[in-house]
Chain A
Amino acid sequence: MIEPLATDEKVVFERTEVLTDHALHYCPGCTHGIAHRLIAEVIEEMDIQDRTIGVCPVGCSVLAYQYFDVDIQQAAHGRAPAVATGIRRVLPPDRYVFTYQGDGDLASIGMGEILHAANRGEKITVIFLNNAIYGMTGGQMAPTTLPGQKTTTSPFGRDTAQTGHPIRMCEMLNTLVEPVLIARGSLSSPKGINRAKKLIRQAFELQHQGFTFVELLSTCPTGWGITPTDAVKWLDRNMTPFFPLQVFREPGAMPDASHKYAPDLKVRDEA
């Protein structure tokens, strides 16, 4: 569809070739499409398409394997970090491995896998889409659903006395020693999208040093029951205060020195 470039103009924006021609299946205004594009653009700009292996989740982005023009594996629900571990541990170190996961996949059923992959310092990039709801199954409560937020399984609003508070994944992972990048961005505005892309780029660039994690606050207009343009406002007003947009971890920025503790107790040491 894109018309040939006239000699007297420059490209401000073109669709990246690391995305396939498939039309996206997402609902109108869903920010999954933006996240896909940013990842694909980073892969193109870093010229690593031939060395990248993606891992897709179960959830709304279950079909993401159709959209990225890279070698890709479709994982079981929540298990993408384990699948990515298997790929990372057996392929040459110059490969780039990323997972793409939603909040139900990563913060609920896959909590064990993400925590342990992060704790092992797996050299992978995890892109975590947090839209505070289960989109694919039709708008049920997620571990990241806000207090009082109505969903089809919290019809009177999330009752924190019964179901607890939303889980803040970045903050939780930031207690671990190994991760080298933990950051939260937002896809609610052009500025946020540009910043999100920088974070994704940074994550891929740091990936061979260790575990990198980028959470992206996202909208689910259909699940939330509002228009896409209202959804981004809702995100800014309601999600950002609870999920602050921060870089929690960067290289050389450990929160404390406790990881330097090495016990001197010798056990099972036959020497």
Chain B
Amino acid sequence: MNRVVIDKDRCKACEMCVSVCNKELIEISDELNAKGYHPVELHDPEQCTACGLCALVCPEGGIAVYKAKKAG
């Protein structure tokens, strides 16, 4: 399964990643981070194509994306 690792303490909830996710898999969470923002979270990770756009537009450099190699 593809992985999107969000550094929640860097997140400032600017929603740039939310706006570029073609699958609309990223949303603002209810939790609060150390800076007082509601960091984003990924839901339905199995839907993620690991396109990397969320990481590309993240001003905080707070997202890492890994693509699963095809089995076999």
Residues of A participating in the B interface, judged by any CB pair closer than 8 Å = 1-3, 5-6, 8-16, 19, 23-24, 26-34, 36-37, 189-190, 193-194, 221, 227-229, 232
Question: Which of chain B's residues 18-72 have a Cβ closer than 8 Å to chain A?
Answer: 18-20, 35, 37, 50-53, 55-69, 71
Given A12-B50, A190-B53, A190-B57 in contact, is the A1-B5 Cβ separation under 8 Å? yes
The 8 Å CB contact of A23, one of B15, B53, B55, B60, is B60
The 8 Å CB contact of B16, one of A1, A19, A36, A229, is A229
Known: A12-B51, A12-B65, A190-B53. 11 other contacts (CB 8 A): A1-B5, A3-B5, A9-B2, A12-B50, A13-B63, A13-B65, A30-B59, A34-B58, A189-B57, A229-B14, A229-B15
Task: Let me know if A24 and B3 touch, CB within 8 A.
Answer: no
Given A34-B59, A37-B61 in contact, is the A228-B69 Cβ separation under 8 Å? no
Interchain nearest-CB distance for A134 vs B (Å) = 19
- C-alpha spacing A227/B14, complex, angstroms: 8
Interchain nearest-CB distance for A213 vs B (Å) = 23
Given A228-B15, A229-B16 in contact, is the A5-B59 Cβ separation under 8 Å? no
Contact-size category for B: 35 or more
> Using Cβ atoms and an 8 Å threshold, which residues of chain B touch A36?
61
Task: Let me know if B59 and A26 touch, CB within 8 A.
Answer: yes
> Using Cβ atoms and an 8 Å threshold, which residues of chain B touch A15?
61-62, 64
> Using Cβ atoms and an 8 Å threshold, which residues of chain A touch B53?
190
Subset of 8 A-B contacts with CB under 8 Å: A9-B66, A10-B66, A12-B51, A30-B59, A36-B61, A37-B61, A189-B57, A229-B18
- C-alpha spacing A37/B56, complex, angstroms: 9
Interchain nearest-CB distance for B6 vs A (Å) = 9
The 8 Å CB contact of A6, one of B14, B15, B58, B66, is B66
Closest B residue by C-beta to A23: B10
